[in-house]
Structure formats: structure tokens, C-alpha cells
Structure 1
Amino acid sequence: MNIGLRVLLGYFLIVALAALLVTKVFVEQVKPGVRQAMEGTLIDTANTLAELATDDMLAGRIADGAFAQRVRAVQAREVGADISGFSKERSGFRVTVADARGIVVFDSEDRDVGRDNSRWNDVYRTLRGQYGARSTRSDPDDPDSTVMHVAAPIYGKDGDASGRIVGVLSVAKPNSAMAPFIARSQNIVARWGFVLMGVALLVGVMAAWWLSRQLGALRRYADAVTAGERAAQPAAAGEFGDLGRALHDMREKLEGKQYVEQYVHALTHELKSPLAAIRGAAELLEQPLPEADRQRFVASIAAQGERMAQMVDKLLALAAVEHRQRIEQPMRIDAFSLLHDAVQAVAQRAEAEGIEIMVDASPDAVLSGDAFLLRQALVNLLDNALDFAPRGSTVEVGASSVGDAIRFEVADHGAGVPDYARERVFERFYSLPRPDGGSRSSGLGLPFVAQVAELHGGRAELREREGGGTVAVLLLPA
């Protein structure tokens, strides 16, 4: 499991737990909160009605007096109210009045008159001067049938009844009356909880994707560096950008050190042979020699010196190409003109060796890149072909569009590349003996071509030619 997915799961788990906790707390608090608000309203209602019922209670006409008539009139009244989308047609509370013994003497619904309510908590506690309330099921088998009862004392006044509790007025209201409001509030809280989780998931996915993308770019860059491939510094922002720059700087310093060590070692190894030849020829020249031998040794010293100079020049050119990560300012290049310039660079040598160069280039072949490097790569391929082409033969050069690529070919009629060497010809300092018995090349020309091709996003290869010879191919993006 990658780090992006782990971060996403951890983040979403925390947010989901927080959302569930908050939602649970809100949902669980909605119902008691609404009921507490309803209880507060019933307390005010009960105490108000208790004061209004006092005169009829003391006069003994609580069951059919003015108070009873007004209460029944309230229950019969059509309210026609719209409360936040819920309609209310009639009053929803019930009023009962019990005397000092707890016996019901008035019931607005005429159901419990004469019943002993002295053991019910609302009446029992109120008769003892305490706050009395209860919530009781109207149907013992239905948990949703609870009714809240809130009581208020009716005090006596005038004469011996003054200061005494002479009755209890209870206001009852079904809890189911609040159920629609409670359900709607719970649904709203739950719905927004899911919205919060969805938004959190989306933010988490985006954050995880961004984090995974940044780390992935750094990982691919590190893998490319480990594999010795060309790779541009990953584009990133913030700390990831700083880390990318640090990796890039570290890579350049480490590669520079290793590069110098490798090249010094390789150059030292390759220079041993020409230096030994020069030293041997110089020692022989110190002695009296025939003129012919002296000229031969002088020519050998000059040839080996030229070989060392070419080796150093080509090694420096190869190092410059290998150290580059990309083409900074690519230019639009006409393939025909590029090929023509490369042919002109070797035309004098080809003429001296009696080799004809035939050019066949498509006029509409265009590519983008570094013209100087590409010209040098083609010159190296032509030099290589001239080294192996028989005297009086033809070297064929071509450039054509192949799909979304430009294909350069340099073909000779020489002996071809042996099978054992075909996989190694692009290795640094690897060289084959020349057909005429001449000294080997520096072994840096084809590696230079391969590096230029890779720098342009293409590739170089050698393949056997039908009828004998070798075809060098340089395939580059158009």
C-alpha cells in the first residue's frame, strides 16, 4: 500500500470518526432538547392556568364553571397554524385538576374524572410543595405513546384556605406532537454529517493524490538516477520542491565526482598504448638509424600523437553530451540540410579514399533539437562508414519520415559488424580493427552518437545490410 493511500485512509478514518461522533451527539441531543423546551412551555402554561382556575376551585365549580368552559372552548377552537411546514389544526394539550386528596375533579377530555391520581408523580410531588412532572405511556405496549404531564399547585386564599395547596392542575401533551420536528432535525443533522464526510473524502483524495504525485515524481527521479538514465529535476512546490532540488544538487555532485574518476581511469588506460608506442619510437630515434627507419618512427610518433589528441577531443565531447540532461533551446531543423552539412564535412576524405557518398533525403523531413550535436553524430557515423567501406565503393546516406519520427541511415558495403561485437559497439572505448590493418579508432564515436540520440529522445542502432555491409540507424522524434 503506497503512502498516498495510507494517508487517505488515515485521514478519512479520523474525519469519519469525528463526523460520526458529532452527528451522534447532535442526534442524541435533539430529542431531549426539544422535550426540555416543551416542558418549559408546559410549566408556564400550567402555572398560568392554575391561577385562572383558582376562583372556580375555591368556589367548588371547577367542573362546570367559567374556567372549564373556556378550556373546552380552547380545545374546540380551530388554530389553522403552519409551523415550519407542519400544520396545526387544534390545541394539543389536555388539562386535569385534582383536589387536595389527588382525586380528579376536572378533565378537559372527560376521561378520568373521579380517578385517584394521588400516586402519580406530578400530583404526588406538587401536593407536597415540590415540582411535579412525569412522562407516561398512554398505551403500555407502544413506546412512542408517551405523554408529558407537568403540574402546578392551586393555592387557597381568604380564610382558612389561605396559603394551602387546595388542588393540582396538570397540563398533558403527547411527546408525539414533537416527533415530526425531532425527526426533521435529526435528518438534517445526519444529512449534513454525510455531506461533511463526502467533502472530507474528496479533500482527502485530492490531498493524497497530490502527495502521491509529488512523492512519485521524486521516486521516479531517484530510480532514473540509480539506473544512470537522464532525468530532469522533478517540478514540485514547497518542501517537495526543496527536496527535489537537494536531490538534484546531490546527484550532480556525486555524478561529477564519479564521472571524473571513471573518465580519468578510462583515459589513463586508453593512453597507455599510444604513449608506449611513442616512448619506444623515441628511444629508437636516439640511436643512429637508416633514414627510412627514422622516417617510419617519426610518422609513428605523429600518428600516435594525433590519436591521443583525437581521443581527448572526442572524450571531452562525449563528456559534455553525457552530462547534459535535456536540450535547453531546441531548434527546428531541416533533415536534408543537416545531412548535407554532415556529408560536406567528410567529402574531402571520401574523395581521397575513392568512396562515393550518395544522399537520398526527404525534403519534408523536419525535426527539433540541437543542430550542432546532430551534425556531429552524423559525421561520426559517416567517419565510421568510411573506415570500413572498401576503396571505390559507395556509402549511402538517407533521411526520411517514418510515422512521428525521422530516420537517418548510413549504409556501407564493408565486411559488416561481427555478431559478437554488435551489442558492444556503443560501449565507450570499444573499437574493431580496420580492414586495411590501420590502428583502431578511439572507440568514442558511436557512444557519442548513442548519447546524442538519447538526449533527443531517440535511439541509435547498427544492423546487418542485405548483400553485405552495415547500416547505422539514427531514429529521432520528429
Structure 2
Amino acid sequence: MSLSLRIFIIYMLFVALCSYFVLRTVMEEIRPGVRQSTEETLVDTANLLAEFLREPMLNNKINNEFYADIFRAYGQRTPNASIWGVNKFAVNHRIYVTDKNGIVLLDSKNIAVGQDYSQWNDVYLTLQGKYGARSSHEIEGDESSSIMYVAAPIKEGDEIIGVVSVAKPNRSVQPFIDRTQRRLGILGGGLILLGLLSGAIFSWWLSRELRKLREYAVNVSQGERAIIPESKIASGELRQLAQALESMRSELDGKAYIERYVQTLAHELKSPLAGIRAATELLQSPLLQTPENDQQRQRFINNIDSESLRLQQLIERLLNLALVEQQQTLHAPKPIDLNLLLDELLDNQMARIAQQQTQIKKDYTPDARVIGELFLLRQAINNLLDNALDFTPRAGVISVRTHKENDQLILSITNQGEPIPDFAFARLTERFFSLPRPATGKKSTGLGLNFVQEVVALHSGNLELHNTHNGVVAVVNFPLVLSSNLG
């Protein structure tokens, strides 16, 4: 299971559990909250009516039809009100008034006049000077039929002379409860979806940055060139981790690289040093001054000279190869006209070309530009030209061509000569592998094609070598540079 999926599952469970408990708690609190608000309103209404009815109670006018007609008219009103999307077409309050003994004197519904309500909690508690309230069911066992009653004392000084009770059915506020719960459910569901979406985006973002670090570490472990993705990592902690990985890679690569090159250099220097030492020892031996001995002495001197030159070339090419292998990116890339570079290198080789009577055929495409480092490209292409000249027979032909194909600029250098043996193809770019030159039978340092491959890879290209019907072709593919990319 991927890291992003695990993070998302944990986040989803956390959001789901938190949302469930929060929504459940809020849903459960809506009903009592609305009823508490309703009760508070009934308290105010009951106390207002208590003050309004105090004078009629003192003057024994509460039984007057005037008040009864007012209460009946109140109960029959049709407000036709729309309250936050809930329509109200009837007055739901029931009002009744009792004397100090709990006998009902006035009832807005005219159903309890003359009855003894002294034992109902709202009346009973109020007559004792306490807060009087009760909740009763119109239908036994039916929670939806409950009615809330709140009473207030009618006083003359400190004496309670009566009680006024205001009742309201809970079903009248149920539409508001349902509406609130429904809206809260929709809002909660939307927030949950938003939270899950945010979690998915966060998981994807985190896993993407970790994936970049993983790919970088895998590339480094496989010995490939890898650019630290520091600029593409937004998180400060992950950026610091990327920097630590880069620092660790540089330290480990540097130690391993030095160790490997010291071993390689020591191995490759043994042969020419042994030749030089042997020739020196022979020269130190006393030789008679004879034409034959003079020729032998000259041969030893020539051997020392050629082996010294070989040592110098080996060290220089090793240093150049070490430089480019350690280089992860181009340091100062700029547009380079490949046609002009080829002409310059061919001019530099003109003496050798003339000596070998080699014929050069050029076929250039216009505007053959690449983005790269001139120093590296000059050395790499010069190595390819050296190889072509080494393996081309006297008075042979070398063809140099640039052309565009799809989104690539292709450089090909074709030389006449013997084809590459089948066994050698897999090792052509291997370090220190070399084929004997036809003219001399000697091998080169075996670092040239390896250096070319490294330089071409730095330029996001690739090197290919193929046999042709009468020779060998080296093909280098570069990304095509458009005019709009040149700034």
C-alpha cells in the first residue's frame, strides 16, 4: 500500500469519526436547545399576561365575557407568517387563568373553565412561590404530542391571587428543528467531503514530494546522474532532507570515486611504466658503439618517448573523464552552432587529414544549434573525429552530417574502414576498452568513447555506433533547440 493511500485512509477515518461525533452531538442538542428557547419565550409571555390580568383579578372581572372573547379571538387568529422558510398559519399558544385555589377561571380554548388545576405542576408550584412548569402528552406514549406549560403568579403585593399559564405544543416548533437538522446535515456532509478532498490533495502533495526524493535516491543508488529536486520541494523539512541526501551523496560519491580512480590509474600506469623502466635499464647497460647497437638504443629511446606520451594522454583523459562524470548538470549552457564547431575541429585536424589524404564530405542542415557547454562538446566531438581518422584507411572518406528529425538534431560521423567486430559492440563505451588501430596495431587509452558518452548524456542526448556497408557511423542525438528557446 502506497504512503499516500495510507495517509489518506488514516485522515479519512479521523475526519469521519470526528464528524460523526460532532454531528451527532450537535443534532442531539438542537431539540433541547429549541425547546429551551421556547420555554424562555413562554416565561416572558406568562409574566406579561400576569401583569395585564392583575387588575381584573383584583376587581373580580376576570369572568367577564370581554376577556373571554379576547382569548378566544386570539386562539382563532391566522398569522400567515413565513419564518425562515417555515409557514405558520395558526396561533399555538393556549392560555388559562386560575384563582388562588387553582380553579380555572379563563381558558383560551374554553375547555377547562371551572376545573381544578391545583394539582398540575405549573399551577401547583406557582401557588407555592416557585417556578411552575410542566410537560404533558396529549396522547399517552406519543412523544410528538407533548405540550410545554409555563406559569407566572398574579400578585397583589406579596400575595399570590392567581396563576396564568401559557402552553405551547412541541409539534409547533418541530418544523424548525427538522429544518435546522436538515441544513446542518447538508452543511456537515459538505464539510466532510471538503475535508476528504483536502486530505486527498494533501496526501497526493506529500507523496509526490517523497516520490521525488525516492526517485533521486534510486537514481543515485544505480549510479545514474541525479539532480536534487530541492527547487521542486515546497516543504521546509523535506527540503532539508533533500539537502542532507545531496550532501551525503556527495561525500560518499567523492570517497568511492577517488578510491576507484586511484585503483584504475595504478593499474593502467603499470604497463607503460614497466616499458619505460625496462628501456631505461637496457640503456644503462654498456653497449658498444656499433650501428646495430645505435639502432637498438634509438629504439629504446623511442619506446620511452611513446610510453611517456601514452602516460600523459592517459592522465589527461582520466582527469577530463573524472571531471565530466562528477558533473551532474551543465554549468554554463548556451546556444552553440554545431556546424561552426565541426568546421573548427576539422580545420584543427587539417594537417593529419592532408597527411592521410583523407577526403571530408560535409552535409549540414541550417540552424543546427544545441544548448550546451562549448568546452565539453568540443572535446567530445574531437574524440569522435580522432576515432574516425584512426580507423579510416589512407585516401579514405569521412562524412560529417547534421540533420533534423522530429524533435532531435542528429550529428553523424561516418568513416570508411573495417566494421566493428560483434564481440566489441557491448564494450565500445567501456572504460579502457580499445580496438587496435589498423595503421599501427596499437590501442588507445580506451577513454575516448566513454568520455563522449558522458558528455552526450549531460546534454540530454545519446550516442550510437553502427556498422555500415563499408565502414562505421557514430550518431549523436541532441534535443532540438527552437528559436523561441534561445531568449
Q: TM-score, normalised by structure 2?
A: 0.87
Residue number in structure 2 paired with 1:138: 138
Residue number in structure 2 paired with 1:197: 192
Contact 1:335 1:361 in 2 (8 A): no
**Pairing of 1:106-145 with structure 2 (within 5 A):** 106-113=106-113, 117=117, 119-140=119-140, 142-145=142-145
Note the C-alpha offset of 1:313.
Answer: 0.9
Note the C-alpha offset of 1:316.
Answer: 1.0
Contact 1:52 1:67 in 2 (8 A): no
Contact 2:358 2:395 in 1 (8 A): yes
Question: Aligned to 1:169, which of 164, 168, 174?
Answer: 164
Question: Aligned to 2:246, which of 221, 245, 248?
Answer: 248
Note the C-alpha offset of 1:27.
Answer: 2.7
Q: SS state of the match for residue 152, structure 1?
A: strand
Instruction: Say whether 1:229 aligns with 2:219.
Output: no
**Pairing of 1:96-107 with structure 2 (within 5 A):** 96-98=96-98, 104-107=104-107
Residue number in structure 2 paired with 1:46: 46
Note the C-alpha offset of 1:53.
Answer: 4.3
CA–CA separation in structure 1 for the residues paired with 2:266 and 2:47: 110
Residue number in structure 1 paired with 2:456: 453
Note the C-alpha offset of 1:300.
Answer: 0.9
Note the C-alpha offset of 1:88.
Answer: 4.4
Cα deviations by residue, 1:12-42 (Å, 9 ceiling, x for unpaired): 4434433443333333222212211211221
Instruction: Say whether 1:420 aligns with 2:423.
Output: yes
Contact 2:62 2:106 in 1 (8 A): yes
CA–CA separation in structure 2 for the residues paired with 1:457 and 1:65: 104
Single out whichever of 450-459 and 187-196 deviates more from structure 2: 187-196
Residue number in structure 2 paired with 1:291: 294
Q: Structure 2: which amino acid aligns with 1:21?
A: F
Note the C-alpha offset of 1:434.
Answer: 2.3
CA–CA separation in structure 2 for the residues paired with 1:250 and 1:155: 90
**Pairing of 1:177-216 with structure 2 (within 5 A):** 177-216=172-211
CA–CA separation in structure 1 for the residues paired with 2:450 and 2:348: 20
Note the C-alpha offset of 1:327.
Answer: 1.4
Contact 1:81 1:89 in 2 (8 A): yes
Instruction: Say whether 1:345 aligns with 2:344.
Output: no
Contact 1:56 1:65 in 2 (8 A): no
Cα deviations by residue, 1:310-368 (Å, 9 ceiling, x for unpaired): 11111111111111111132222222222222222323223222332222222233222
Note the C-alpha offset of 1:125.
Answer: 3.9
Note the C-alpha offset of 1:296.
Answer: 1.0
Contact 1:327 1:456 in 2 (8 A): yes
Q: Structure 2: which amino acid aligns with 1:46?
A: A
CA–CA separation in structure 2 for the residues paired with 1:77 and 1:395: 111
Cα deviations by residue, 1:246-298 (Å, 9 ceiling, x for unpaired): 22222222212211111111111111111111111111112216111111111
CA–CA separation in structure 1 for the residues paired with 2:391 and 2:93: 113
Residue number in structure 2 paired with 1:302: 305
Cα deviations by residue, 1:424-459 (Å, 9 ceiling, x for unpaired): 110111112222453210000000110011000011
CA–CA separation in structure 1 for the residues paired with 2:48 and 2:273: 121
Q: SS state of the match for residue 232, structure 1?
A: coil
Contact 2:368 2:402 in 1 (8 A): yes
Contact 2:75 2:109 in 1 (8 A): no
**Runs of 5+ consecutive residues of structure 2 not aligned to the other structure:** 481-487
Q: TM-score, normalised by structure 1?
A: 0.89
Residue number in structure 1 paired with 2:3: 3
Q: SS state of the match for residue 457, structure 1?
A: coil
Residue number in structure 2 paired with 1:321: 324
Residue number in structure 2 paired with 1:364: 367
Q: SS state of the match for residue 144, structure 2?
A: coil
CA–CA separation in structure 1 for the residues paired with 2:391 and 2:467: 13
Residue number in structure 2 paired with 1:471: 473
Cα deviations by residue, 1:406-434 (Å, 9 ceiling, x for unpaired): 11112222222211111111011111222
Q: CA RMSD in A?
A: 2.8
CA–CA separation in structure 2 for the residues paired with 1:414 and 1:379: 19
Single out whichever of 145-154 and 322-331 deviates more from structure 2: 145-154
Residue number in structure 1 paired with 2:272: 274
Q: Structure 1: which amino acid aligns with 2:270?
A: K
Contact 1:398 1:409 in 2 (8 A): yes
Single out whichever of 369-378 and 64-73 deviates more from structure 2: 64-73
CA–CA separation in structure 1 for the residues paired with 2:89 and 2:279: 125
Contact 2:453 2:463 in 1 (8 A): yes
> What percent identity do the matched residue pairs reach?
45
Q: SS state of the match for residue 176, structure 1?
A: helix
Instruction: Say whether 1:377 aligns with 2:377.
Output: no
Contact 1:389 1:413 in 2 (8 A): yes
Note the C-alpha offset of 1:59.
Answer: 6.8
Contact 2:118 2:124 in 1 (8 A): yes
Q: Structure 1: which amino acid aligns with 2:404?
A: S
CA–CA separation in structure 2 for the residues paired with 1:248 and 1:42: 74
Note the C-alpha offset of 1:393.
Answer: 1.9
CA–CA separation in structure 2 for the residues paired with 1:417 and 1:103: 124
Instruction: Say whether 1:433 aligns with 2:428.
Output: no
Contact 1:147 1:172 in 2 (8 A): yes
Q: Structure 2: which amino acid aligns with 1:376?
A: Q
**Pairing of 1:8-157 with structure 2 (within 5 A):** 8-53=8-53, 62-77=62-77, 79=79, 83-88=83-88, 90-98=90-98, 104-113=104-113, 117=117, 119-140=119-140, 142-153=142-153
CA–CA separation in structure 2 for the residues paired with 1:434 and 1:342: 21
Contact 1:122 1:149 in 2 (8 A): yes
* Count of equivalent residues: 472
Contact 2:384 2:413 in 1 (8 A): yes
**Runs of 5+ consecutive residues of structure 1 not aligned to the other structure:** none
CA–CA separation in structure 1 for the residues paired with 2:131 and 2:334: 94
Q: SS state of the match for residue 416, structure 2?
A: coil
Q: Structure 1: which amino acid aligns with 2:466?
A: R
Contact 1:327 1:370 in 2 (8 A): yes
Label 1:104 to 1:428 Cα distance change in 2 as closer, same or farther (>3 A). Answer: same
Single out whichever of 116-125 and 338-347 deviates more from structure 2: 116-125
CA–CA separation in structure 2 for the residues paired with 1:355 and 1:222: 49
